[in-house]
């Protein structure tokens, strides 16, 4: 079927074009295959090996609250996997410059990535190469996957495993900075209150050595005995009891005040001692902040580039371009041929000569 502009591009015409130009397509396919295979070889593209580590964050971050505290209400178990919040925090820390800079320094990535010292914006190029080679993402099961690409499979595996280990140390450093400050504050308050309690106990013991052991019961007993002695008219006994009452009146108020205050301060000291022990554990002890599900190992086969995929895409692209070029060329040739045909001319009937 044809239209006024040229042959209709139906399936039969397309197949006819492919058959007519099959040699061209074969040559293009073979040449593309050879070139794609050549330019995807190690001569032009450095092969990269992939290593991965899969981690789960822990659900709890405070050692003392998880192990020692009896008043901390939480449904988080130390052995449970973390949820969204912990996973997002893990991703943020893994992407931090604290881990990045330590990996760059340990493996001398500036030299390893062939970035020379004299080149412009060398740190920008280094960080960009780091982001291209080392990736972190959350899996569909709320774990975190660390993927490292490198030209040396051993280094790829070592970097992936080291990043997993650095997560723990980075978390510990960040938490220890705050935990140590908190510990020093609690420690100062604890020792201060303990000294005050010791001082109050010394003062109370001094009063007790004067003979005042229980103000209320002693006062009641002396007053009862005084009434008896007054009834007996025992002057010596009365004088002795009055002396004891004078002693009670002189030191009894201080005794009661110290006793009640000491009881309150001891309760406070017991509470702050518990916090002191918790803060000490947080400041001095470490627990892992991750569960390692899969550790990285040395890859046996390269993961990049995928040469067959490069060749397949290259062949498909070039053949498609070649087909479009052939179609356009065919249409142009047909249009040019139509223009060159002589036009049919039939004069009017009345003008035919005899």
Q: What is the DSSP string of 115-179?
A: --TTSTTHHHHHHHHHHHHEEEEE-TTS-EEEEEEESSHHHHHHHHHHHHHHHHHHHHHHHHHHH
**Is residue 315, in this structure, part of any structural domain at all?**
yes
63 and 120 together in one domain: yes
Residue 25's pLDDT is what?
86
**What pLDDT, on a 0 to 100 scale, did the predictor assign at position 1?**
42
Confidence (pLDDT) at 6: 45
Q: Which domain holds residue 115?
A: 49-181+290-294
Q: Single out the residue in 239, 274, 294 at which a domain terminates.
A: 294
Assigned domain for 344 exists: no
- DSSP sequence for 243-288: HHHHHHHHHHHHHHHHHHHHHHHHHHHHHHHHHHHHHHHHHH----
Are residues 268 and 315 both part of a single domain?
Answer: no
- Same domain for 141 and 115: yes
Q: Are residues 58 and 175 in the same domain?
A: yes
DSSP state of 230: H
Whether the CB-CB separation of 25 and 19 falls below 8 Å is answered with no
- Same domain assignment for residues 58 and 174: yes
Return d(Cα 313, Cα 311) in angstroms, integer.
6
Instruction: Kindly state whether residue 325 falls inside one of the protein's structural domains.
Output: yes
Q: Is residue 154 part of a domain?
A: yes
| pTM for the predicted model, two decimal places | 0.65
Distance from the Cα of residue 168 to its chain's centroid:
10
One domain for residues 86 and 160: yes
CA dist., res. 242 & res. 230, Å (int): 11
* 143 & 53 share domain: yes
Residue 9: per-residue pLDDT: 55
Say what the pLDDT of residue 52 is. Answer: 94
Structure tokens at 15: 């197949």
For residues 162 and 155, what is the distance between their CA atoms, to the nearest angstrom?
10
pLDDT at position 349 is 52
Whether residue 174 sits in one domain with residue 82: yes
Contact status, residue 193 vs residue 269, Cβ threshold 8 Å: yes
Angstrom distance (rounded) from CA 54 to CA 290: 10
| Shared-domain flag, residues 112 and 192 | no
Q: Residue 66 has what pLDDT?
A: 55
- 339 assigned to some structural domain: no
Residue 46: name the closest of 162, 131, 153 by CA. 153
Residues 57 and 153 in one domain: yes
pLDDT at 354: 40
CA distance 156 to 152: 6
In a domain, 342, yes or no: no
Domain membership of residue 186 (yes or no) is yes
Query: Same domain for 79 and 111?
Result: yes
Cis amide bond preceding 119, omega within 30: no
Last residue of a domain, one of 269, 294, 319: 294
What is the spatial distance between Cα 241 and Cα 219, in angstroms, rounded to a whole number?
10
The pLDDT, as a whole number, for residue 2 is 45
The tally of domains found in the chain comes to 3
Whether residue 316 lies inside any domain: the answer is yes
Same domain, 149 and 208: no
Q: What is the pLDDT along the chain (354 residues), one digit of tens a residue?
A: 444 444 455 677 778 888 888 888 888 889 888 888 887 777 777 888 999 999 998 876 665 665 555 555 555 555 566 677 888 999 999 999 999 999 999 999 999 998 988 888 999 999 999 999 999 999 888 899 999 999 999 999 999 999 999 998 898 888 888 888 988 999 999 999 999 999 988 888 888 888 777 777 777 787 887 787 777 877 787 788 777 777 777 877 788 888 888 888 889 988 898 888 888 888 887 777 888 898 999 888 887 777 788 888 988 999 899 888 888 887 887 777 666 655 554 455 554 444
């Amino acid at each position: 079927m044809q239209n006024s502009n040229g042959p209709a591009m139906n399936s039969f015409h397309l197949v006819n074009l492919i058959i007519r130009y099959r040699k061209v397509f074969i040559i293009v396919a073979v040449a593309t295959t050879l070139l794609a295979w050549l330019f995807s070889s190690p001569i032009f593209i450095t092969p990269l090996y992939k290593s991965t580590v899969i981690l789960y964050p822990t659900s709890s971050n405070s050692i003392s609250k998880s192990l020692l505290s009896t008043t901390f209400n939480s449904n988080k178990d130390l052995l449970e996997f973390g949820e969204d919040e912990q996973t997002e925090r893990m991703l943020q820390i893994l992407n931090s410059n604290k881990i990045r800079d330590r990996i760059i320094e340990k493996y001398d990535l500036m030299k390893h990535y062939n970035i020379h010292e004299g080149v412009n914006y060398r740190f920008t190029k280094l960080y960009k190469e780091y982001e291209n080679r080392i990736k972190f993402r959350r899996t569909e099961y709320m774990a975190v996957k660390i993927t490292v690409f490198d030209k040396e499979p051993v280094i790829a595996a070592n970097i992936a495993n080291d990043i997993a280990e650095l997560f723990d140390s980075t978390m510990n450093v960040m938490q220890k900075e705050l935990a140590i400050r908190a510990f020093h504050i609690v420690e100062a308050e604890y020792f201060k209150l303990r000294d005050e309690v010791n001082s109050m106990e010394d003062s109370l013991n001094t009063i007790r050595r004067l003979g005042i052991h229980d103000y209320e019961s002693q006062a009641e007993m002396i007053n009862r005995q005084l009434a008896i002695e007054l009834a007996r008219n025992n002057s010596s006994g009365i004088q002795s009891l009055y002396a004891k009452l004078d002693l009670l009146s002189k030191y009894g108020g201080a005794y009661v005040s110290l006793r009640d205050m000491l009881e309150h301060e001891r309760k406070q000291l017991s509470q702050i001692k518990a916090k002191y022990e918790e803060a000490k554990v947080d400041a001095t002890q470490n627990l892992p902040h991750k569960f390692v599900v899969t550790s990285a190992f040395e890859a046996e086969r390269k993961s990049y580039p995928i040469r067959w995929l490069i060749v397949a895409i290259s062949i498909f692209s070039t053949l498609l371009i070649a087909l479009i070029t052939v179609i356009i060329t065919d249409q142009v040739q047909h249009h040019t041929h139509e223009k060159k045909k002589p036009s049919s001319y039939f004069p009017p009937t009345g003008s035919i000569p005899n």
